[in-house]
Structure 1
């Protein structure tokens, strides 16, 4: 059983993007599609054939690189992101936050895209969103642009998503 798409969107993704002062419909749509293709909306929290963790299947290596190469250069943003993490668990096992803390994982997933410095496609351009995911995030070994589109269309049938 995965996550309810509308609840993930309204209770996790949108508030997290707003907290980071980076909300847009395109960003929200991209993260919904990412969750759909990477983990089937949380149905697969640990990637069976890889090391990806959580609803976005972020690898510990990607997580560490984001902190070391991107967030370390922006202390204000790093502080905001750190504010989403749990007090003690983050210090003991920061990668576990990717599985157990949806808002933290959402912030990290979003910043993986942001650090690339590329403009987002329009929220309603599903093929462009799929290509953007594949080029800048893609962690599933056999996932393709077509897989993103199929999972997103399936997700759309279950929710009120744009695109």
Structure 2
């Protein structure tokens, strides 16, 4: 059983984006939809595709650190602050599975590092294309849109109360 979408957004995604200074509604909804499509909101936290809510492969995790965070020491320090003090040094990819805020930060920075413009929060196909390009190159757009319809749409419709 995964995490309730409203609680994932309220207690993990939003605080992480605020902490990073990157909070906006589009980012919240996008990351929620990515988590829904990649891991069914946490039903499958470690698979052949990758680790954690967002199924991030080891290679992309390393790439974010080497190609993006290495160029911004202040941001790298913020992200490192989310990771476990000792476990990160011995198993950084494990942090993606067990540390929801850390994996959320890495997932968002993968988006940011892509330099793709984030579509409006009601542009489902635009978000699906970004998801496929960054998170699931072999994925079907329908997988993302189905995850959106079942997990995110109810929150999107009740945005004034929840988001």
* TM-score, scaled to structure 1: 0.92
For 2:12 and 2:6, the matched residues in 1 are separated by 10
Q: Is the 8 A contact 1:51 1:60 kept in 2?
A: no
> Residue 149 of structure 1: which of 129, 145, 150 is its match?
145
- Give ranges in structure 2 of 5+ residues lacking alignment: none
More helix by share: 2
For 1:27 and 1:58, the matched residues in 2 are separated by 17
In the TM superposition, residue 127 of structure 1 has moved relative to its aligned partner by 1.3
* Structure-2 residue corresponding to 1:28: 28
* Structure-2 residue corresponding to 1:71: 69
In the TM superposition, residue 67 of structure 1 has moved relative to its aligned partner by 0.5
For 1:136 and 1:65, the matched residues in 2 are separated by 12
In the TM superposition, residue 72 of structure 1 has moved relative to its aligned partner by 0.5
> Residue 156 of structure 2: which of 149, 158, 161 is its match?
161
RMSD: 1.5
In the TM superposition, residue 41 of structure 1 has moved relative to its aligned partner by 0.6
- Give ranges in structure 1 of 5+ residues lacking alignment: none
In the TM superposition, residue 51 of structure 1 has moved relative to its aligned partner by 4.0
Structure 1 stretches of at least 4 aligned residues deviating more than 4 Å after TM superposition: none
* Structure-2 residue corresponding to 1:131: 129
Q: Is the 8 A contact 1:84 1:104 kept in 2?
A: yes
* Structure-1 residue corresponding to 2:94: 96
For 1:51 and 1:117, the matched residues in 2 are separated by 23
